Amino acid sequence: MLLPQEIIRIKRDGGVLKQQEIQRFVDGLVDGSFSDAQVGAMAMAIFQNSLNTEEKVTLTTSMMHSGDVLSWEGYDRPIVDKHSTGGVGDKVSFMLAAIVGACGGYVPMISGRGLGHTGGTSDKLESIAGFNVQPTIPQFKKIVKELGVAIISQTDNLAPADKRLYSIRDVTATVESIPLITASILSKKLAAGLDTLVMDVKVGNGAMMTSLEDAQALAESISSVANNAGVKTQAIITDMNQVLGVTAGNALEMFETVQYLTGEFIDPRLHTVVKSLATAMLVNSGLALDASSAEKQINNALDSGKAAEIFDKMVAALGGPTNYIEQPWAAMQKANVIVDIKAAQSGYLAQMNTRDIGMSVVGLGGGRTAPGQLVDHTVGFDAILPLGEKVTSGDVIARVHAKDEAGAKLAAEQYLGALSFSDAKPKLAPVIYS
């Protein structure tokens, strides 16, 4: 019997863990034979001394097999998904899933809750009255087969080892370890039985990785481990130095999704990210020959209304209304108080502390400060002007949606405090880095 403390000692001293030692750790996560203290010590040892590629592959595949692994046998089209490392206003999953589903892929998207300052895909979907993010696995698979897409929340028996390790990392200052992030993301994604994965690795002041160097290291780690584990994977590094799109907050982001899918309003930065990721998903899965044919398919899915129709049908199939795309606000609640945020000075919008804006949404009640808290789906910001815009003092640069006047006033002050202005037009970060 391999003792937990002996396995911890090997990694503490910078040694390389054998396959059976990593398997013993993962078994201990599930059956409780590693105590919380021992899991925390192991996480810190990995944080300090890292893992080599072989160790990362072993940890990822062991965690993947710690619970259910979905099989798509008999499904005759590529099983393809994307994962984002999270940011503020990141509603890309909804557009992408609908577009790739409309182009002939099967997209079984298993999404997360909000974490820290970043919004959660599952929380956003729950803005819609009746939407069930936790159907049974047979229901989930049936919807994917019929519509090409279903977006749900992580189930209890999908990578349960990760669930426990994640909660302990959260309270032991070991969240930012690249090997642990890699294993956490991929154990869940690989358990979904994918053929192809595209990673959206965010970088900037609103991302988990604030430096390009760290984002590149994470992108390389994820793609090498996933490819070694047999899933064709590409990582794309995208900008998170400002809110993505014009909304941040659960129901507001769902409304922007509807506007995008119907062509009523398409934010250019958001569209660039969606197109880039959708192209990679279509080309890597063999649904498109090359980038130009992928772009034609993407434009056709949007212009024909097919992507919007698929999204609408998915909402209905998971318990939402049957006419969500036509009347989104009939199925979502609006905030009690909506207040304009006005520029305090004239000049160009030069910089945005995106993380602070994400934390403002949390402060309004749109995210959690403790596990299991209820989320206020109505709150957040919309009509957000992008960086580089020239404004005059008194111009509306965003709107805050809050449950009361006091909350709106505080959030408006925080929003203004997160911006800086300049006299000259600022040089903006690229939307896609690499």
Residues designated catalytic: 81-84, 121, 169, 184, 188-189
Pairing assessment for the beta strands 337-342 and 380-382 based on DSSP bridges: unpaired
Amino acid (1-letter code) at residue 281:
M
Amino acid (1-letter code) at residue 25:
F
Q: What is the CA 22 to chain-centroid distance, rounded?
A: 28
Burial of 328 (0-12, 13-18, 19+ CB in 10 A): buried
Task: List, in order, residues 6 or more apart from 19 with CB less than 8 Å away.
Answer: 58
Question: Residue 377 phi/psi, 5° resolution?
Answer: -75, -15
User: In 10 A of CB 173, how many CB atoms?
Assistant: 12
Strands (E), 308-379: 337-342, 347-352
Residue 410 contacts residue 363 (beta carbons within 8 Å) = yes
Residue 351 contacts residue 340 (beta carbons within 8 Å) = no
Q: Residue 396, SS3?
A: strand
Cα–Cα distance measured from residue 63 to residue 83, given in angstroms and rounded to the nearest whole number: 18
Cα–Cα distance measured from residue 233 to residue 370, given in angstroms and rounded to the nearest whole number: 33
Pairing assessment for the beta strands 80-84 and 196-203 based on DSSP bridges: parallel
Cα–Cα distance measured from residue 78 to residue 338, given in angstroms and rounded to the nearest whole number: 44
Tell me the C-alpha to C-alpha distance, in Å, between residue 227 and each of 31, 122, 172, 195, 235.
29, 27, 30, 10, 11
Q: What is the CA 366 to chain-centroid distance, rounded?
A: 16
Strands (E), 225-379: 232-239, 337-342, 347-352
Residue 160 contacts residue 30 (beta carbons within 8 Å) = yes
